[in-house]
Amino acid sequence: MKTIEKPELCFPQLFNNSCKKHVRPHSESMFIYTLLSSISLLTVFLNLLVIISISHFRQLHTPTNLLLLSLAVSDFLVGLIVMPFQILLAEPCWFLGDLVCALYHFVPFITVCASVVNMLLISVDRYVAICDPLRYSAKITVNRVRISVLLCWIYSVFYSFMFLSDNLKQPGRYNSCYGECGINIIITVDLVFGFIIPISSIIILYIKVFVVAVSQARSMRSHNLGGKLQHSTNAKKSELKAARTLGVIVAVFLTCYCPSYCVPLFGLILDSVTNRFILFLVYFNSCLNPVIYAFFYSWFRKSLKLIVTLAILRPNSRECNLL
C-alpha cells in the first residue's frame, strides 16, 4: 500500500488552522532570492546617488529637480524596505506575525501613491513649462514645489491609512490560516483614486505637452532666428529636451504600473506566479528611473563622477558647474 504523504505545515502545533507549505526547489528559491536582493541593492544605490546629487549641488536646486528628488526618495524606500520584504513574502509561510504583516503593507502603499502623485506633479510642471513658458518662473517656484511635495507625502500617508486602517484594528482577520499574510482593501475605490483619475490626468497633460512640443520644434526648425534670439532658442531647446526625458520616465512608469491595475479593472484571473511578476514590475520601476537619468541627463553623469571620486568632499564642491 502506498502511504499518503502529509503536507508540511507552517505551524505544526496548530494542525487544524495552520497554512500548508508549498515547498519550492532549492535552485528556484536561490534564483528568486539572488534576483530580488541584487535589484534591491541596485535600487538603493542608484537612487541614493540621485538624492545626494540633487541635495548637494546648488545648481540642481530647480523646481523640476526637486520633484525628481521626491520621486527618488520614494524609489529609495522601495529598494530599502519594500523589496527585502518581498523576499519574505516569497516564502511559503509568514512567521513575523499579523501586526508586522499589516504594518508592512503601509510602506508599499505610501511609496506607490507618492510615485503616482509625483508623476502627476512632474506632468503639471512640464505642461506649464512647455505650454505657458512666459509665466513658468512665476507659477512654478521652488517654495511652491516644496509645499507640493510635502502635501504629496502627507496625502500618500493619509491615503494609505484610509485603506489599511481596517487591517490594523484586528490584524490577521483576513487570513484564511495561520502563516498567511493577507490584507483587505477596497479595490474599486483604489482603482478610481489610485489609478484612473491620476493616470488619466498624466496622459492628458502629456498629450498636450507633446502636441505643443512638436509645434515648437517645427517652429524652431523653420525659422532662422537671429543672434538676439539665440538665448531664447537655447532655453526652448532645453525645455523640450527636459520634456522628452521626463516623457520617457512617465512612459516607463505607465508601462510598469498599468498591468497591476488592469488586472482587477478588467476582472482578469491570473496564477500566483504572474501576479507576483506584475507586482515585481511595479517595484522594478524604482530601479529604472535612475538608469534613465544616467542616459538622458548630463548633470547626473557629471555628479556621479564627483560622488564616486569623493570630489564632493572638497570645499565649495556645492558650487560646481554641472549644466
- Cell 535589484 locates to 39
What are the residue ranges in the chain where pLDDT is below 70?
A: 1-7, 14-16, 22-24, 26, 89-92, 216-218, 220-243, 265, 267-268, 270-272
Cell numbers at 198, concatenated: 491620476
Cell of 55: 541635495
Residues 8, 22 contacting (CB under 8 angstroms): no
Q: Closest by alpha carbon to 111, among 283, 254, 262?
A: 283
Sign of CA dihedral 208, 210, 216, 219: negative
Look at residue 3 in the predicted model and tell me its pLDDT: 45
The SS3 assignment for 322 reads: coil
pLDDT of residue 74: 92
DSSP 300: H
Q: Which residues contact 140 (CB under 8 A, 6 or more apart)?
A: 63, 125, 128, 129
As given in the structure block, the three cell numbers for residue 163 are: 485603506
The SS3 call for residue 185 is: coil
* pLDDT at 141 (0 to 100): 92
Asked if CATH classification 1.20.1070.10 holds for the domain at 26-216+236-319, the reply, yes or no, is: yes
| pLDDT for position 1 | 42
Q: Name the residue among 162, 168, 160, 186 with its Cα closest to residue 264.
A: 186
Helices (H), 192-229: 197-222
For 294-313, write each residue's pLDDT tens digit.
777 888 888 988 998 888 88
Identify the three-state secondary structure at position 6.
Answer: coil
Q: Provide the grid cell at 261.
A: 491595475
pLDDT at residue 240 in the model: 63
Q: Give dist(CA 312, CA 297) in Å, integer.
A: 19
| R_g of the chain computed on alpha carbons | 23
Q: Which residue has the cell 513574502?
A: 89
Domain ranges in the chain are: 26-216+236-319
pLDDT in tens, 229-282: 555 555 556 666 666 777 788 888 888 888 887 777 676 676 667 777 787 888
Residue type, 185: I
CA angle 53, 240, 224 (to 5 degrees): 130
